[in-house]
Amino acid sequence: MKADFDINYWLQTMDTSRDTQSLIPEGSVRAESNLVTRFPDDTDNVIRRIEATGTDITSNYNDWIKIGFAFANEYGISGRDYFHRVSRFYPGYSFSECEKQFDNCLKTTTKRTGIGSFFYLAELSGIEIKTPIDQPVTPAAESTSTLVNDKNSDSPVNDLPTLPDSVFDALPDILKKVVAKCTTNEERDILLLGSLVTLGSCLPNVSGNYDGQRIYPNLYLFVTAQASAGKGRLIHCKRLVKPVHLALREESSQTKQQYDSEMREYNLVKAKDFSIEKPAKPPEKMLFIPANNSATGVFQLLSDNKGKGLIFETEGDTLAQAFKSDYGNYSDGFRKAYHHEMISYYRRTDREYVEIENPCLSAVLSGTPSQVASLIPNAENGLFSRFIFYHMNIKPVWKNVFASGNDGLEEYFDSLGQEFFHLYKALNENPGLRFYLTDKQEKQFNAFFEQIQEKYLTLQGMDYIATIRRLGLIAFRIAMVFTMLRILETGDFSEKQVCTDDDFQTALSMIRILVKHSSHVYSELPEDLIPAKAKDRKEQFLDKLPGKFSHQDFIDLAKKMTIQVRTAERYMATFCEKGLILREQLGTYTNLTITEEDHEQNSREFCLRQQ
């Protein structure tokens, strides 16, 4: 662990007679200005080579500080991810410490350290940085970088695989149209996944049976990538269900007008007629539920919309910050909604207890890797395993932003939204459709996930088993969405909807890739966020008591642990009552929770704490 860093002290002791370029010796990269000219966006390429080789260039504390300033000065707050990616190869890397350090670097207004310092320190550590931008990377150079896009490789050196072409060849027609204008594999992947979630949130009266429970086609998706990787394309998926949202808002507007009219009439006659009932306030109808909300606000909107809603945020931090606030922490309800478990809450304004039966919530989020860490407090609370994760590969290639294929994308997706809206209205008027797998598909499904589980238990351990098991549920829901979208082609609204073999195999093919993305994101979670389960204060207090101690001893210990004296005395009374502590004569105590052979060692440690 690196020591806390004092910016003011570092700036005072820094050799201010040298500029940034003096950090770069002759014969290396000669000047920062030349470096930026030759490598206008090469930082990510160099970091990829650092990641590919697992090289720690931050072992020297001062070098670590310079790198922090280099990224802060060059990229501002966007440099935070770069700082984490470079720092994590240090054996004592700490996510929280790295966050604190970069915050400190951002606070200074002195711009003495430029990005050239980072390139120089990387070069000193043996990282290749001299490949010009106008010269293709040779195969030899690629072997030490992460610029290779090998779809079939499990090696961490290569980019994560994208979905195979066979997936897109077998899609329902409307999804083929969704990805028709994509120019990269990553782009079509995220548009397909985003469409499955958004369209799946608007399939009313559709369900299937999974593990003895009725399941609806709702999914959670998090697309993670570095800044400028192209995840912004995901926003087009929102247009596919915009007509549903607008229809609900129009319905809400009409009921509000009716309510206002009834309230005017009520106010006119209530003084004369005490028997008249006050009109009930109409529900607030909408599809898109804002993530930046209070817990009660989110649950109220879900309740108003019969438990249905879609959270669509292009910045994962929006949801993360809501979960971190006392009034906005609806993480528990968010997790329950994934399995359609009842959500209950209390409305203080109306003094009303509300229960939401079978909530059907969907979520599409995107953000940087550090935003995943910000959203997921630890890997054990169940939130991680509920998400489909997709990590976008970033390519150091300039995209033609004026390509004809980019014209009218909003109108194009709006037209697809209108096409889907017809299916939504028909399903909304239908009493209910049930989704089924065939017997043969069920057998293959179980064999497939048994094999996947065995593999990733070996790779990731028991902590990852929840992710594997929920990927099974995700596959089931994906196949359900495929099947319902086929109705646009067949017009078949039969109550029993059986999955085709093509849609079933497509869902499994997607899982083969998505499990690798989830494993990658899981592996990137900082160790700080997966701590051992903390003991409560009372248990900590008992554990720190020695074999023999006096009343004053345990009072002194309580003060060191910032436990109030009266609380400590209450703890002690409970311990004695339960037979954990023996109260002897003359105000002495014996700790019965430790063995005789531990007494001497614990007593020595206790004496040291008192010094």
Domains, the chain: 7-142 (no CATH), 151-241+287-398+410-533 (3.40.50.300), 537-610 (1.10.10.10)
Which amino acid does the sequence have at 153? S
Assigned token pair, 79: 């440099």
- The whole-number pLDDT of residue 478 equals 98
Phi and psi, residue 214, nearest 5° = -75, 125
| Sign of the dihedral through C-alpha 584, 589, 592, 597 | negative
User: Cβ neighbours of residue 450 under 8 Å, at least 6 residues apart?
Assistant: none
- The whole-number pLDDT of residue 314 equals 84
CA distance 325 to 146: 38
What would the mean pLDDT of 477-505 be, rounded to a whole number? 96
Q: Quickly state the pLDDT bin for 540 (edges 50, 70, 90).
A: low
- The whole-number pLDDT of residue 488 equals 96
In the chain, % of residues over pLDDT 70: 77
Most confidently predicted of 74-88, 138-152, 426-440: 426-440
- The whole-number pLDDT of residue 330 equals 84
Residue 438, pLDDT above cutoff 60: yes
Provide the 8-state DSSP code for 288.
Answer: B
What would the mean pLDDT of 68-90 be, rounded to a whole number? 84
Residue 568, pLDDT above cutoff 50: yes
Residue 288, pLDDT above cutoff 90: yes
- The whole-number pLDDT of residue 93 equals 80
In the chain, % of residues over pLDDT 90: 36
The better pLDDT of the pair 89, 459 is held by 89
Q: Quickly state the pLDDT bin for 167 (edges 50, 70, 90).
A: very high
Residues in the chain: 611
Q: Which residues of 116-135 are buried (b: 16+ CB within 10 A; e: fewer)?
A: bbbbbbbbeeebbbebeeee
Residue for token pair 């239908």? 430
**Residue 223: CB atoms within 10 Å:** 26
- Which of 128-132, 183-187, 420-424, 605-609 has the lowest average pLDDT? 605-609
- The whole-number pLDDT of residue 414 equals 96
- The whole-number pLDDT of residue 389 equals 94
Residue 9, pLDDT above cutoff 80: no
